[in-house]
Amino acid sequence: MQLGKGTNSRVALASSLALVAILVGAFGFVADQVIEGETTRFDTAVTLLFRLNGDVRQIAGPIWLQDAVRDFTSLGSFAVLGFIVIASAGYLLFSRRLHEAVFLVTSVVLGTMLSNVLKMVFNRHRPDVEASTHVFTASFPSGHATMSAVVYLTLGVLLAKSIPSRGLRSYFIGLAILLAFLVGVSRIYLGMHYPTDVIAGWCLGISWATLCWAAVELIEHYENAARNGQTGVRGVGRQKGTEGL
């Protein structure tokens, strides 16, 4: 999203805020259903799609597929995402794009804090499978789904903003969405999360990334408007001074 002038600016901002409202509402709905215990049937049905003979402890698919899915899930890990964010922020700093570097780091750090706080609030137990016994954080919402959406969408938008080609912009945004999707599905496949954990994580991550980006674009819009206004005032002053000579 990039704000233009006049009506386009208002439409873009309104669309972003509407998307955030819808996603936050979806998160609240899923969270309420989880608290009430209404998601058990759905979670079980989706989880069993990735299991052999209805046994939640036996992952379906050949060994090579399971290894590939573990590779995908690592793309949403704290270590990998942290490295990507640090490397990207370093590039932005060396490119003298300070505002974008600050935006990237701030949105990711605050998003991580929000995800962890919500995990502590809901304190949902992990699925009862062997893979989840090695994880010590709560299940809801999925941190991998949340933070992969935040990081990859933020980077996708930053890349899209710097490229004039509409096709390439769509490609980067689509790639970011695909990465977040694959990370989320991998968590369900491996039994690390319930499906509703991942859905809530996607809603939270996308809404947070959208909200942060809308805030930054709005600030830049008003800064540019103020700068243009000051330029106009100086131009009028110079014109009056010339007329008085």
Q: Catalytic residue at 144? A: yes
Q: What is the DSSP letter of 31?
A: H
Neighbouring CB atoms inside 10 A of 139's CB total 24
pLDDT at residue 157 in the model: 86
Token pair for residue 132? 């989840």
| CB half-sphere exposure, 35, CA atoms < 13 A | 10
For residue 24, give every residue at least 6 positions away whose Cβ sits within 8 Å of its Cβ, in sequence order, or none.
203, 207
> Which residue, chain included where needed, has tokens 């060994």?
63
193 is catalytic: yes
Q: How far apart are CA 177 and CA 162, in angstroms?
A: 18
Q: Under 8 Å CB-to-CB from 176, ≥6 apart: which residues?
A: 152, 153, 155, 156, 157
pLDDT for position 1: 44
The first and second tokens of residue 217, run together, are 């674009």
Task: Considering the candidates 99, 125, 134, 144, report the single residue annotated as catalytic.
Answer: 144
Angle at Cα 147 formed by Cα 179 and Cα 55, nearest 5°? 70
Running along the chain, 245 residues long, what does each successive block of 10 average in pLDDT?
52 83 95 91 90 80 91 93 94 89 91 93 80 67 94 90 82 93 94 93 94 80 67 51 51
| Residue-level pLDDT at 61 | 85
**Tokens 């009862």, residue?**
128
Strand partners, 52: 55
The CB density around residue 88, as the number of other CB atoms within 10 Å, is 20
Are 142 and 188 in contact by the 8 Å Cβ rule? The answer is no
Q: Which of 99, 125, 193, 221 is flagged as catalytic?
A: 193
